[in-house]
């Protein structure tokens, strides 16, 4: 058996390391060119990783480019792992592997097909998240399911903590699958039908906060887009600020000010609890950490001491 790997995102790193240590015959790794990877959220340093693991590395602009497909065909893998990759593989790349290409999608398919499922899970306030190992097909996230896990989303999770759990489940599912692949098996079951629309792609400009939403929705939006993503943002006195961290206050604490109004500082001996209380459409949140466009970052005591009371966050 011969395997090849395609990935750039950190969610694939534990799985690749585990497969190599388990003796999986990975012949080569494909990743994004560094300049392209640097513009993507959650990119891992595949150069250092492959040096450490002793794996040949090919850097590509697009896995569907003619030269990338030619390299895949020259390798003639039995299985192509596509884990932590955002480009949809077209038929020539999909057909380069004898048994097929295996991908992972960070939801319990057929739910939440499409782009950014981890971010959308939090934005939509979903109580459960998941991860699915599947055979890739020409249709988006529609191939046969190999393995699947689900887990609870807690009020304390962020996109970063959910991706950690996705990465762990990638590793665990692929290690379970490895003996069957080495035996030339191709396990899988068809997905159940679904009429749920495909999730749209998210871009950095989609991160503007709508303060007229309930406090829980604003809180979920901030934690869905925090590091390693570009972050949720808003404007105060015409200056754009990224809001990296917020605290949800009890719903019983209703705000009577216009949405986005800074009610006043939240103070505590614990620096991470400090910030500014901001009114939402229903209720309010504490903004705990912000960063200006010029890189100035305020959090904790420094943020609580800003004379922002009575000012209003706006969407532009």
Per-residue pLDDT at 77 exceeds 90: yes
pLDDT of residue 14: 98
Tokens for 107? 């939801």
Domain boundary among 148, 182, 216: 182
Residues 156 and 123 in one domain: yes
**pLDDT at residue 234 greater than cutoff 90:** yes
* Window from 60-69, 107-116, 247-256, 288-297 with minimum mean pLDDT: 247-256
State which of 150, 182, 214 marks the end of a domain. 182
Average confidence (pLDDT) over 27-37: 97
According to the model, what pLDDT value does residue 150 have?
Answer: 98
Could you read off the pLDDT of 164-217 as tens digits, one per residue? 999 999 999 999 999 999 999 999 999 999 999 999 999 999 999 999 999 999
40-59 in b/e burial notation, b at 16+ Cβ within 10 A? Answer: ebbbbebeebbeebebeebb
For residues 68 and 171, state if they share a domain.
yes
Domains contained in the chain, number: 2
CATH number of the domain where residue 170 is located:
3.40.50.170
Comparing 256 with 204, the larger pLDDT belongs to: 204
Residues 46 and 171 in one domain: yes
Domain containing 61 equals 3-182
Closest CA to 7 of 34, 43, 39, 36: 43
User: Does residue 254 have a pLDDT over 90?
Assistant: no
pLDDT tier at 285, thresholds 50, 70, 90: very high
* pLDDT score of 315: 86
Specify if 80 maps to a domain.
yes
Say if residue 145 is in the same domain as residue 112.
Answer: yes
Residues 263 and 173 in one domain: no
Q: Is the pLDDT of residue 252 over 70?
A: no
Residues 62 and 8 in one domain: yes
Tell me, yes or no, whether 37 and 162 share the same domain: yes
81, part of any domain: yes
- Proportion of the chain above pLDDT 90, given as a percent: 97
Identify the CATH number of the domain in which residue 240 sits. Answer: 3.40.50.12230
Same domain, yes or no, for 232 and 101?
A: no
- Is 174 in the same domain as 227? no
- b/e per residue 144-177 (b: at least 16 CB within 10 A): ebbbbbebebeeebbbeebbebbbbbbbbbbeeb
Q: Is the pLDDT of residue 30 over 90?
A: yes
Q: Is residue 196 part of a domain?
A: no
**Quick one: 176 and 263 in the same domain?**
no
| Burial (CB count within 10 angstroms: exposed 0-12, middle 13-18, buried 19+), residue 300 | middle
Identify whether 197 is part of a domain. no
153 assigned to some structural domain? yes
At residue 253 the predicted structure's pLDDT band, cuts being 50, 70 and 90, is confident
Note the pLDDT of residue 2: 97
Examine residue 189 and state whether it is found in any structural domain, yes or no: no
Helix, strand, coil share (%) of the chain residues, nearest 5: 30, 30, 40
Prediction pTM value = 0.94
Same domain assignment for residues 20 and 154: yes
Integer Cα distance of 93 and 66 in angstroms: 9
What's the rounded mean pLDDT across residues 259-280?
Answer: 96
Mean pLDDT of all residues in 48-72: 98
Are 217 and 298 in a shared domain?
yes
């Amino acid at each position: 058996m011969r395997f090849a790997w395609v990935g750039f995102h950190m969610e694939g790193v534990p799985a690749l390391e585990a497969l190599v240590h388990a003796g999986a015959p990975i012949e080569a790794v494909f990743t994004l060119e560094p300049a392209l990877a640097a513009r993507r959220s959650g990119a891992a340093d595949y150069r250092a990783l492959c040096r450490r693991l002793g794996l040949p590395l090919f850097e590509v602009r697009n896995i569907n480019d003619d030269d990338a497909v030619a390299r895949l065909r020259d390798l003639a893998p039995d299985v192509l792992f596509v884990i932590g990759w955002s480009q949809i593989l077209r038929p020539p790349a999909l057909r380069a592997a004898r048994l097929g290409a295996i991908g992972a999608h960070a939801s319990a398919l057929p739910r939440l097909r499409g782009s950014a499922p981890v971010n959308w899970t939090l934005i939509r306030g979903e109580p459960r998240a998941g991860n699915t190992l599947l055979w890739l097909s020409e249709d988006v996230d529609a191939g046969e399911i190999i393995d699947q896990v689900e887990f609870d989303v807690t009020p304390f999770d962020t996109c970063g903590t959910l991706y950690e759990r996705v990465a762990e489940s990638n590793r665990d599912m692929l290690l379970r699958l490895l003996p069957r692949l080495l035996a030339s098996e191709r396990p899988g079951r068809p997905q159940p039908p679904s009429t749920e629309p495909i999730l749209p792609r998210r871009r950095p400009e989609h991160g503007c906060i709508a303060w007229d939403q309930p406090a829980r929705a604003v809180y979920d939006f901030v934690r869905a887009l925090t590091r390693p993503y570009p972050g949720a943002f808003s404007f105060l006195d015409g200056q754009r600020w990224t809001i990296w961290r917020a605290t949800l206050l009890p719903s019983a604490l209703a705000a009577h000010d216009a949405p986005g109004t800074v009610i006043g500082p939240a103070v505590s001996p614990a620096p991470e609890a400090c910030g500014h209380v901001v009114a939402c459409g229903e209720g309010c949140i504490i903004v705990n950490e912000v960063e200006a466009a010029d890189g100035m970052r305020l959090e904790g005591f420094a943020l609580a001491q800003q004379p922002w009371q009575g000012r209003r966050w706006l969407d532009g």
